[in-house]
Amino acid sequence: MSATKSAAHILKRVLMVPPKHFTVEYAINPWMGGVVDKKKAHQQWDSLKSAIEKAGVQVLTMEQTEGLPDQVFVCNSGLVYDNKVYLSRFRHKERSGEQPLYLEWFKKNGIATIGEGYEEIFEGGGDAVFSDPKTLWAGYGERSSKSVYERIKALGSFDIVLCDMVLPNFYHLDTCFAPVDETSALYYPPAFSEATKKEILRRLPNSIAVSEAEANAFVCNAITIRDTVISPIGVSQDTKNALSKRGKQVEEVDMSEFMKSGGACQCLVLRLFLATRVKRNDFTNNYGYGPFGIGPTNGGFDSYGFYRDKFYNSGLPPLYSFASYRNYYHEISFHKNKYGQPAPTDFEVLQQERFGPYYDGVWGYADHSKNWFGKR
């Protein structure tokens, strides 16, 4: 994978937490206050999820636990890279109850965990974000320690660009910095030390400085997917024009209910960056029918898109069949097929020498635009 290809262009899936129990019950940042309209919060969350899916990224979800109102801000759960996660350790006790729930989810979903026994504070994707697979922007100050990034090197081989944040209102990196592509980011200059500002412009020379009004509207809490910048409402026309010159379009999403707790688009999303392993159960000898005949299946789409027989019962054509998968890791990317169902557009079984025998027999793939078979 080219180190110059931006993270925005290779992101395949993210994790989100629906706001079932979202409220503002305490104040651990300068923005927190007000009464949450729960119906409106659900609508805003759904709009963000839809925008992400429309841009071409699969959204996985985990349930929110009652009594943990900030669990919706799942970006802070850890930093994911290449099938590993460095776990968060929250500064404030109000969020510490989230940590074991994230640990359980990562382990259940085949992502190796690092950092369980470490004491340094670290608030995950809120303070650390990749602009490309070889460059991690690493914020420190209010919520994450500078020293934690020595341990984060265990995730893989990449440059760590330390970012000294100096304003208490911009306590997480994702409140004042958002990578756009391999040469640019949205950023709010006053939030950083002089040395950090120079490094941003050295490494991302086409970066766009946002105004104070935009920063206070959480415009830097945007997430870029391919050529779409999904942002809270408040992007100025100047910023839109600058992004347009870089081939980007802006989609604004109302995040007003979540801003009452100091979060917006990026806070609600954990990038599962380069996480290609998906550990599933044994599919052997579970048979259904595919477009080319008989093939194993087992009960409808699971959360990663394996097609199982509950959709066969709906009368819609099945998408593919496969044979003899036993607890191995697969990479799948997704789009919606013409029936509105999740459909695999790219199906790759990872290296045999790394994970052992990965299948035997014949496997197949089909969607409404193309079909093909492979055999090993």
Distances from the Cα of 14 to the Cαs of 57, 87, 165, 222, 314, in angstroms?
Answer: 7, 16, 26, 14, 28
Could you write out the DSSP letters of every residue in 293-335?
Answer: EEEE--SS--TT----TTTGGGTSPP--------S-BEEEEEE
Catalytic pick among 172, 220, 265, 330:
172
DSSP letters for 196-264: HHHHHHHHSTT-EEPPHHHHHTTGGG-EEETTEEEEES---HHHHHHHHHTT-EEEEE--HHHHTTT--
**Strand (E) or helix (H) holding 180:** strand 177-181
172 has catalytic annotation: yes
165 secondary structure, DSSP code: B
The alpha carbon of residue 38 and the mean position of all alpha carbons in its chain are separated, in whole angstroms, by 23
Amino acid at the residue 327: N
- The answer to whether the beta carbons of residues 76 and 112 sit under 8 Å apart is no
List, in sequence order, the alpha helices (H) in 112-179: 148-152
Catalytic residue selected from 75, 163, 267, 330: 267
| φ, ψ (nearest 5 deg) of residue 166 | -120, 0
Q: Catalytic residue positions? A: 172, 267
